[in-house]
Chain A
Amino acid sequence: MNYFKQDLASLHADLVAKKLSAKELTQATFDNIKATDPKIDAFLALNEDAALDQAAKVDAAGIKEDQPLAGIPVAIKDNIVTKDLTTTAASKILTNFNPIYDATVTTKLADAQMITVGKTNMDEFAMGGSTETSAFKQTKNAWDQTKVPGGSSGGSAAAVASGQIVAALGTDTGGSIRQPAAFNGVVGMKPTYGRVSRWGLIAFGSSLDQIGPLTRGVKDNATILSTIAGHDEHDLTSSTQAVPDFAKDLNDATSVKGLRIGLPKEFLADGVDEDVKNAILAAADTYRKLGATVDEVSLPHNKYGVAAYYIIASSEASSNLQRFDGIRYGYRAQDVKNLEDVYVKSRSEGFGDEVKRRIMLGTFSLSAGFYDAYFLKAAKVRTVIINDFKAVLKDHDFIMGPVAPTPAFDLGAEIKDPITMYMNDILTIPVNLAGLPGLSLPAGFSNNLPVGMQLIGRPFDESTLYKAGYAFEQSTDFHLQVPTLGGQN
């Protein structure tokens, strides 16, 4: 299967016309993954027998025109629970954990008759920006196997970029969909907080986490988001707002005409790579040519986002990760004297260093005597950051800027230096703090590595981001360039 020459619509057309069966497509996907994964290590687990059975059932029932996703393979990030399919969140503490239920998003994909082919690698519990904190393997960038794939959804991004799969789900707490999408030259959407149910997502920062799609094109991304979005009685933060058919109106490259776009000066400040800056300035010109206006705007408190985020996300994580105690599931330490020992030794042996660092930072920020100075202060700065966005989005339809200050960096280059790693998230984190939708899409290259652009919208206005992303995609050819991994192209 050559996913570089196919999208959801063309696969669907072939399936309906019986040029291809779901089983053939699924088998070809596994063959492709097995041929290319030794190079990029995107997958933690494959679901081969169950997926081929399911594909055969879809074939037997017949694929109709009103089932646009039926029989099409999809990959799922490993912090989203999948019934009877090992789910580890890339942590030793969940080795061999087999969920007894499906996340709402995987149920919705199954209802649309998509075929789950496997679970993708990630930073442990989604804590990291390079997929290097995984307890199990090191995923490589699809464009250059000496570079990181980004993170934490590095496996999903590399799988889509390398042509292993047409679509994957990721999760984004501080940039974990958008940054790996940018590093691998694919499209990633972090939806508005509440747009997609978090039921079955292994919680990291509950007020920040969202699930979203990674795909090669904007339209495919929109199709998947419409499928997984919507209110869910199991997640009381999921919104009751109606879910549009996001892909329906994506056929007009001139739809940005008359839109007002804000380009924050802080997004092009010192520390942002020259090639990245130039790609964004060129993208601004593209939008001007399409009839939009691009104004310089300001998000004056953007630089405080990283500090506020690492207090808030770590505090929420320290609470959420209390459940991993060696009692009910997952890793339990041997050679223990009493129950307290089970807790302390299971956690100390089961969690990796980055997860421990976050738990420590969170526990510290919430502890007696420090709560006001750290957690409460961060929660107030969060309000200030939200107000910055509100002021700009009052008279701008969306905000544009880079996703990350640099293209993908070398494997091993930053993992020993937490603060450098944390600062990579400076352009994505504020969007999570404010709960806004953020779309990452290919916007250029720097030394043969992809450069991503980020579009940030008003709450629940993913539609405008998809329209603007589609218009940009139709006006450029960055999304048509593919890595040469495996020589498939």
Chain B
Amino acid sequence: MANRINRDQVQHVAGLAKLEFTDAQLDAFTPQLDDIIGLFETLSEVDTDGVEATSNVSDQLNVMREDVADNWGQSQALLKNAPDAARGFIKVPAIIDESEDN
């Protein structure tokens, strides 16, 4: 394996992406990601000196509109898809880790 990315780096990227992997998953993912990053590195063969980057191909630029408030009136409907809700709000677990001493 060429080691373009190692197991620790994969774990670091997983943290950034809010994902977690078991040891077995890390064993499988690390060489796969390494191979794919190897494919990415073939781009270094292309001379891009002085080439502008393309971030989008839309023909619409700087579309402006009036900033008008619009009430969909659907807050109750939105809550139907929430995993947990009470009194018109979405419920989530405590932000502070309950296992911490404080």
Contact = CB atoms under 8 A, between A and B. Distances in A.
Interface of A: 97-98, 100-101, 193-194, 207, 233, 236-241, 301, 304, 306-308, 310-311, 318, 322, 325-332, 336-345, 347-348, 351, 356-357, 359-361, 363-365, 367, 374, 376-384, 386, 418-419, 422, 433-435, 459-460
A241 B14 CA distance: 42
8 contacts: A98-B80, A101-B74, A328-B81, A339-B92, A342-B93, A344-B19, A348-B19, A379-B53
Interface in B33-51: 33, 35-37, 39-40, 42-46, 48, 51
Can you list the 4 inter-chain pairs with the closest CB atoms, starting with the nearest? A435-B57, A379-B53, A332-B83, A329-B81
B95 A339 contact: yes
A310 B40 CA distance: 8
Nearest to A339: B95
Nearest to B81: A329
B53 A383 contact: yes
B98 A359 contact: no
- Classify chain B's interface size: 35 or more
B84 interface: yes
A311 B77 CA distance: 37
Interface string B8-42: 01100110111111000000010011011101101
Nearest to B10: A360
B19 A359 contact: yes
Contacts of A304: 42-43, 45-46
Contact of B57 (A330, A377, A434): A434
Contacts of B96: 338
B94 to A, nearest CB: 6
B69 to A, nearest CB: 15
Contact of A100 (B9, B10, B77): B77
Nearest to A375: B53
Given A337-B98, A364-B5, A418-B32, A237 B19 contact: no
B97 interface: yes
B81 to A, nearest CB: 4
B32 A383 contact: no
A332 B92 CA distance: 10
Contacts of A308: 43
Given A347-B17, A374-B37, A418-B32, 16 more contacts: A236-B60, A239-B60, A241-B59, A327-B90, A337-B98, A339-B92, A339-B93, A343-B18, A361-B33, A376-B53, A380-B54, A381-B46, A382-B53, A383-B48, A383-B51, A459-B59
